[in-house]
Amino acid sequence: MANKTLLNATNEILKRVGIIAGDAGLLTSLTDSARQKSIDTAIQVTNEGIADLYVASNSALPNKQAESTITLVTGTRNYTLATTLVMLRWPLIDRTNNQYITEYPGGYNAMLIGDMEQDDTGLPHWAAIRPTDGALFMDRAPTSVENGRVYTYQYDKDTVLTLLTDTVPFGDEVFRAMVPAWAQLWRRDRQNSFDEPIYRRAVGDASLRLRKLPMRDNYSPR
């Protein structure tokens, strides 16, 4: 079964705190003018709770590696990367022609110094991420000969959930354990009410389920 989504988490939080009355009132999107502040808070605390869970379980939050492509265009040296990219995993690979684009030694500024005229053309071999806008900047501008070549790259994806279809990084058992914790964070932000023992126990239960450990009777700090 697929992991629960941000929409599922938002609905469970809002049911728990009384904004939604049962399954009949479930949201189908993350946009609702009458309840938008409540929805926005639920999205925020879902991400906050996930971060707290992975800290509590002493586990690394999964980066969800993804794949994307760029296509060379005549005369174009800069290319937009995936919007969710956190870290690019070099090299980029042209699988059709068995060609690679590798990170320029020293990065973007070193590339500018190496080609002060910025007039090199032909097949790119090196590239760097431009710090001003996050674009991928090539050492050469492709010509019509290279136009249309497709390069595939791997990257670490941002794990912050923003879209209703974004999935939580754990299964249903951990999801259910996290609902009371998310609800407490929501009450803290929206109602100035926070039950720390309930929150601590919920995160503790979820942490043990995440690591597949036996349940404990007490989650007080040692």
pLDDT in tens, 75-119: 999 999 998 888 899 999 999 999 999 999 999 999 999 888 888
Number of domains in the chain: 2
Q: Is residue 216 a part of any domain in this protein? A: no
Q: Which of 22, 26, 50 is nearest to 39 (CA)?
A: 26
Q: What's the pLDDT score for residue 220?
A: 46
Tens-place pLDDT, residues 170-192:
999 999 999 999 999 999 999 99
Co-location of 70 and 152 in the same domain: yes
Where does a domain end: 157, 179, 196? 157
Q: State yes or no: pLDDT of 52 exceeds 80.
A: yes
Residues 164 and 55 grouped into a single domain: yes
Mark whether 191 and 153 lie in a shared domain. Answer: no
Q: Is position 102 within any domain?
A: yes
Among 149, 156, 144, which residue's Cα sits nearest to residue 125? Answer: 149
Residues 75 and 56 in one domain: no
How sure is the predictor about 218, in pLDDT bands with cuts at 50, 70 and 90? very low
Q: Strand 126-129 vs strand 85-94: parallel, antiparallel, or unpaired?
A: unpaired
For residue 122, what pLDDT band results from cuts at 50, 70 and 90?
Answer: very high
| One domain, residues 58 and 69 | no
Q: What is the pLDDT of residue 213?
A: 61
User: Is there a single domain that holds both residue 147 and residue 196?
Assistant: no
- Residue 90 belongs to a domain: yes
Q: Is the same domain home to 89 and 195?
A: no
- Residue 221 pLDDT exceeds 80: no
The reply to whether 218 falls in a domain is no
Domain of residue 80, residue span: 65-157
- pLDDT band per the 50, 70, 90 thresholds, residue 217: very low
In a domain, 220, yes or no: no
Clarify whether residues 87 and 152 are in a common domain.
yes
Q: Are residues 139 and 164 in the same domain?
A: no
Residues 36, 111 within the same domain: no
Q: Decide if 188 is inside a domain.
A: yes
Claim to verify: residue 174 and residue 187 sit in the same structural domain? yes
For the chain, the distance separating the N- and C-terminal CA atoms, rounded to the nearest angstrom, is 37
Task: Identify the pLDDT of residue 116.
Answer: 84
Domain boundary among 157, 176, 195: 157
Mean pLDDT of the chain: 92
The answer to the question of residue 221 being in a domain is no
- Residue pair 164/6 in contact (Cβ under 8 Å)? The answer is yes
Task: Specify the DSSP element, H or E, that contains 43.
Answer: helix 36-56
29: pLDDT strictly greater than 70: yes
The answer to whether residue 87 sits within a structural domain is yes
Distance CA(134)–CA(113), nearest Å, equals: 19
For residue 76, the number of C-alpha atoms closer than 13 Å in the C-beta half-sphere is 14
Q: What pLDDT sits at residue 16?
A: 96
Pair (53, 70) in one structural domain? no
Domain boundary at 142, 157, 172, which?
Answer: 157
pTM, whole model, 2 decimals? Answer: 0.65
